[in-house]
Amino acid sequence: MGLIPSEPENPVLSRLADHLVPAVGRLTITADDADLPPAGIIAANHTSLADPAIVLAALHRLGARPVIMATAGLWRVPLLGRALAREGHIPVHRGDPRAPQAIDLAQKALEQGRHILIYAEGGLPDRKDATEAAPGTFRRGLARLAHRTGAPVIPVGQAGARRVTSGSAMKQLAGLATAPLRRPRLHLHVGLPLLLDGDGQAATAQARLAVTAAWKTAATQLGEPVARAA
């Protein structure tokens, strides 16, 4: 099992996101509470390859430099993988004997007073357009981690990332290339922290409902129509 380093004074990924995001869009932030809990599990909706940078940029402005739980394949990307490893982010090896280690490392980070950023949907939606949609089905790892640690879940909803990148590989490249000219509006909303009731299906649904509510607030801020979650 790897070690979680203490929070870096100048986390490269958070600082980089906070510098790059204003170049591709106009980010605004709202929150139901003025202050984030000093530690906890930040659960965000996942809609685009662009939204991790948007979420990191917003959290950096709110004073949080979270440990990210992300698919292990990102650690093989040159430069990015090195930065992820150096800052102590957590690779998730799905369908692999090493998979349980991710929860163990996340627990250790929470015990050290860190924030954990998790995408409980476990992947991106299979959609080609740039429209908003409610979060998909959540995996149970979020509820298990919250139950094991007693940490609060901080629901985060973001909208607008699909205006930066979405669709096919060519459309995503085109969207990223034109975003500095278009500068689409982006919004992130932080909901009230909650304690999940157990680690099963009901707790997972409770977390999804809270993230969906935060996403609806973010989408409404952009004037996007919202639909009920499936």
pLDDT tens digit sequence for 185-210: 999 999 999 999 888 899 999 999 99
**Can you give the pLDDT at residue 84?**
86
**Can you give the pLDDT at residue 149?**
95
Question: Residue 143: which H helix or E strand, with range?
Answer: helix 141-149
What residues pair up with 185 in beta bridges, in sequence order? 26
Which residues of the chain fall below pLDDT 70?
1-10, 226-230
**Can you give the pLDDT at residue 1?**
44
**Can you give the pLDDT at residue 228?**
54
The pair of structure tokens assigned to 121 is 């949907």
Cβ density class 39-73: b for 16+ within 10 Å, e for less: bbbbbbbbbbbbbbbbbbbbbbeeebbbbbbbebe
- Block residue for tokens 């089905």: 137
Q: What is the pLDDT of residues 132-144, one digit of tens each?
A: 889 999 999 999 9
What residues have CB less than 8 Å from 151, skipping those under 6 apart? 39, 40, 41, 110, 116, 145
Q: What are phi and psi of 61, to 5 degrees?
A: -70, -25
211 neighbors 41 (Cβ within 8 angstroms)? no
**Can you give the pLDDT at residue 3?**
47
Question: Residue 83: which H helix or E strand, with range?
Answer: helix 80-86
**Can you give the pLDDT at residue 10?**
57
- pTM comes to 0.90
- Please state, in angstroms and rounded to a whole number, the distance separating the CA atoms of residues 153 and 178: 35
The pair of structure tokens assigned to 184 is 């689409």
